[in-house]
Structure 1
Amino acid sequence: MLLTLHKSTIIAHPPTIIITGSKSESNRLLLLQALYPELQIENVSNSDDSETMQKALKSSSNHIDVSHAGTAMRFLTAFFATQEGRDITITGSARMKERPIQVLVQALNALGADISYLETEGCPPLKINGKPLTKDQVSLKANVSSQYISALLLIAPKLENGLELTLEGKITSVPYINMTLDLLTQIGVETSFKNNLITVRPLQKLSPQQQVLTVESDWSSVSYFYSIVALSPVGTTITLSHYKKDSLQGDSVLASIYTDFGVTTTFGNNTITLVKTDEAQLGSVNCQLQNAPDIAQTIAVTCFGLGIGCHLTGLHTLKIKETDRLVALKTELEKLGAQVDITNEALLLHSSTQINDNVSIATYHDHRMAMAFAPLALKTNLQIEDAMVVSKSYPTFWEDLKTIGFKISK
């Protein structure tokens, strides 16, 4: 579906926006719930990715298709490897069949799993013969997607002797690893993370007081509202729920980053209020986003909309997302009149004040491309192609934008 976003202004007193539960937390807890059925989860994400996880975990079929859901592919590969007596084929979209998974498969096989490739070596689809994993020590390259690491950590408590995971080299996306370990701790699993060694002790059953967990709302999704407030006049205010100051999510760094754009964050009773208190004072923004790469698109578009430059680094994992996000960002920003340079792990946006009107933004089957560019409707008219791709993480995104003043038509 093609949506047209007409040049808009945020209404004076917008209603509180209720954001769905974090996809990252939800998918971790859904896997843990499959291992520990007594676990109850509240405020589960209504995203496509989390629905895919739920459907796959409940399925009795021996053929699982996760479509574009990368987290589901990685987590489910680890889960099904441990399910004795189940022979599973797991596949996905054409793009999913291009996304690497060899690092995880090698680690699982080293622990005793039986996983093989059905098409391209190192990529899905996979044939998984579920069996007990008998070994408890494995090494993994640390500079790849943290989801490989989390996939191993999530199944670790159900292994007979737990797991000792050695990470080789510089670790990527530490907050996401800490999120996984914190959730394990909350259900009663003993863990430690010292230097490059992670240890997870076995746990057979949850205690009654550790059987209910509530998912915090998604910080990646709130990034688009940070961008909206940053691109709006001083005094613009938006409140969102459900958020907490001591978040497990790495993207909560938004509260600090967006102070450079004149946006302040106030934590209330389970809410955050974003206020545009000042105009952005910087000519250029420098951000190291190794621990929060999913907000790179949002920050780049915010800077472009404000007419300032940015240098974003630590982005090497963006090349293996739903699309090559660095190439996609460069292509779409340049349609709008930007000058962008990229490398394998960085993006450099040159400052400019020109924004081309009525540009059609391609989304590349990537929910974050659609949502990151939407705030530019505060500056110009634009179209978003395949706009319903947002359902991957935030199904009510367009409706929520309308409630705060965006003018959107089909």
Structure 2
Amino acid sequence: MTVIKDFLLQLALVTCLLFAFQIFFAERLERNTRLKVIMPFVFGTAILLCMTFPAYVGDEYRLDIRIIPMLLGTLYGGVESGIFLSLLIVLYRLYIGVDLGFYNTIITLLFGLPVFLYFQKHFISASKNKRVRIVLLLSAYYSIIGSLTGFLFHPISREVIQIQIIHLLTTLIFVGFFTSLNEFTREIILKNQQLLSEAERLRVVSVLTSVFAHEIRNPMQVTRGFLQLLNEPHLPAKNKQYIRYSIEELDRANAIIDDLLAYGKPAAQDLTRFDVALELRRVENLIQSYAISNNVTIQTRYEDNCWIEANPQKLNQSLINILKNAIESMPGGGTIWLSCFSNDERYVEICVKDQGIGMTKEQIDKLGAPFYSLKESGTGLGMMVSLQIIRNFHGKVKITSELDVGTEFSIYLPRIT
């Protein structure tokens, strides 16, 4: 029971130091690498406290959990931190006294430190779950080496074996806990930084659109006025259709500016009940010339009576942007499949599938973020607004993609009867 109390005391000391490090220094360490000198100092203090209050088994057998701060300090701090902590252990153990335990410490470090340093680079580049597994394996390895070395210098008894098992289990449990805690904290810090970065980008978008909206709308209004003057009764029907499409697209561009200005702000929606199939035929007509000029064929399959309640102009804006991206993802030409159908009683599903260059999972996760685009001249704002439009209609988007195979957008919108 006394041994367990001693281990709990060491754990309490280590926990206080590591929590303090996470609270006061972890976020700053992400921003200023010079503060990494604090890391070996904190872990070194934890080592000294563990060695100062060991668990005694008999008169000479000392056990502590220095492996936890030593291992974490080496893996997170790097080679310099690992060497510093190892020298600290040797010097403090020398200060305590040169006995069999001192030689045990030296031999264990000689077998343990090179392995830690070897896995350090693998640890830094590993995922969260893999990091935890690496830490558990290394701590088990170090503890077993220490136990086997101890058996060489001390008589083996049932009590000693039980204490070694308790020591091993305690080390594995808490080194896993501290590693998971550290990874969780770092993940939160990273997400907070990303949120701050995205908030700043959205602020820039808001400022830019506010500044340039007036200047952009002036030439658009002039162009629209001249197109209306050209739309005389004696014009051929085909020309009238082109003028009508041009005016409608100018109005759509003006609506895009409104979306950028109002992005992220709740606004009243002008909702209309309409059949998705009819709107998709209209979108197909609008994008057809652009597809032909890029050697792309659009194959369609529309199921009638796919009724939804939304703003058809805004939905068309979203679909045209997705189709345009699909066309541009096939520089050598190809086929796009455009379809809509009722997948059940709740949703109407719109599918846009291409044979383009595809995307990785990381690229899909970033899709829709401001200023993130896979095109050299892209801003990412078009996809950002398109996805926001679908969300405003209480819809959802599923994106599946494979490199060099293609991408499929599945848009689900609530169905009405």
TM-score by length of 2: 0.18
Q: Which one has a larger percent strand, Structure 1 or Structure 2?
A: 1
Larger radius of gyration: 2
Hey, which of these two has a bigger chunk of helix by percent?
Answer: 2
Larger relative contact order (C-alpha < 8 A, sep ≥ 6)?
Answer: 1
